[in-house]
Amino acid sequence: MNCSLAKNKKKSKISLTKIVLTSLFMIFMVLVGIGAVFYGQLGPAYLEAEEEQLFIIERGTIPSQIALDLKEQGLIKNKKVFLLYARLTGKLNKFKAGQYLLTPSLNIPEITDKLVEGKVATTNFTIPEGYTLRQIAEVLANKGIAEEEEFWQAAKEENFDYPFLQGLPKNELRLEGFLFPDTYTIPKGMEVEKILDIMLKRFNEVYENLPANKGSLSIQEAVTLASIVEGEAVVDEERPIIASVFYNRLKIKMRLQSDATVQYAFKERKKRVLLKDLEIESAYNTYQNSGLPPGPIGSPGEASLRAVMEPAETDYLYFVATKDGSGEHLFAKTLTEHNRNKARLGYYD
């Protein structure tokens, strides 16, 4: 009797063990199945799709809306899986605002990493030396970076904390000469005021690395003179010489008589300045007015800024462009010599 009872208990234990093991196996298989489904949903929405799409996260967008937007653009398979993966990896609340270039061939981990790391889409633009504010506004507008109206509003009204802007009136020409000419790479969708700040910061970096100003000009006056040098010079080696001509004229209170400043007085640049153009009534007409114009006439590059800081030591008061396409000039100390140079170049033919 006791032996039979023991055998029954042993059989019961074996059956219970089988049931437990079977249950655990079934649970394991269910988990494996769920994992397989979850892993599958982590994969690319369309493996063969390689065309980039612009995906935008506005400031303050909550994760659930980001997931919905990704699903609606066909960039992920399942928004719930995206949110679960982001939560499990601790990245749910770390998505950065910006514009991203994503493809449906990316998987959810790859997309999540891009959104967390802030690998936003970028664009670039180039501002050549000598460009005016008007031309810079046109470049940004043509590239689809900023509307001209918002450019001018920011240029006029934004507070930019740089010493070279102190004391300047808040008008549309306040930043003329200080938006440094260079090639810039910026995130798509960047606010125009931040773009202007980047360009002003670049100017500040360049200016602070220049030699000390040997003249008595203020920073605004130095940039104004550099912008005139930029407008007149083509060959870098001549920039310090041209700067010396203008310094020499300023010392003896002789009018600068720069065609570049006359060009600035016109809304559209002329192919060449004519004699009748020299009579235009404008504070920027240095044929009619003494001293420097009211402000810069464009954005000088580093070479022109450096030329004003370290002008050549000359007695020249005049220069005239050659006609051989080299961009070089002939310099003269006297009007007689200057007229002789012009005759040699065929300006009196």
Q: Are strands 329-332 and 318-321 parallel, antiparallel or unpaired?
A: antiparallel
**Residues 224 and 306 reside in one and the same domain:** yes
> Among residues 88, 117, 146, which one ends one of the domains?
117
**Residues 183 and 224 reside in one and the same domain:** no
pLDDT for 6 equals 58
**Residues 203 and 129 reside in one and the same domain:** yes
Say how many C-beta atoms besides its own lie within 10 A of residue 7's C-beta. Answer: 10
**Residues 190 and 132 reside in one and the same domain:** yes
CB distance 140 to 192 below 8 Å: yes
CB distance 227 to 238 below 8 Å: no
321: in domain: no
The domain that contains 82 carries what CATH number?
3.30.1490.480
> Among residues 145, 173, 208, which one ends one of the domains?
208
328: in domain: no
Domain count, the chain: 3
76: in domain: yes
CA angle 138, 141, 146 (to 5 degrees): 125
pLDDT for 33 equals 45
Mark 200-220 as b/e (b = at least 16 C-beta within 10 Å).
bebbbebbeeeeebeeebeeb
**Residues 226 and 278 reside in one and the same domain:** yes
**Residues 131 and 109 reside in one and the same domain:** no
Range(s) of the domain holding residue 181: 122-208
As a whole number of angstroms, the distance between CA 334 and CA 339 comes to 9
Per-residue CA distances from 60 to 42, 92, 97, 98, 231 (Å): 25, 13, 8, 11, 46
75: in domain: yes
Structure tokens at 259: 């065609």
45: in domain: no
**Over its length of 349 residues, how does the chain's per-residue pLDDT go in tens digits?**
555 655 555 566 666 666 655 556 555 554 554 455 545 678 887 877 778 888 999 889 999 999 999 999 999 999 999 999 999 999 999 999 988 989 999 999 999 999 999 888 889 999 999 999 999 999 999 999 999 999 999 999 999 999 999 888 888 899 999 999 999 999 888 899 999 999 999 999 999 999 988 778 999 999 999 999 999 999 999 999 999 999 999 999 999 999 999 999 887 777 778 788 788 889 999 999 999 999 999 999 999 999 999 999 999 999 999 988 899 999 999 999 999 999 999 887 5
Residue 99 bridge partners (DSSP): 56
**Residues 58 and 103 reside in one and the same domain:** yes
154: in domain: yes
pLDDT for 139 equals 97
- Name the E strands within the chain: 53-57, 98-102, 122-126, 183-187, 318-321, 329-332
103: in domain: yes
pTM: 0.77
pLDDT for 346 equals 86
CB distance 63 to 92 below 8 Å: yes
> Among residues 164, 185, 208, which one ends one of the domains?
208
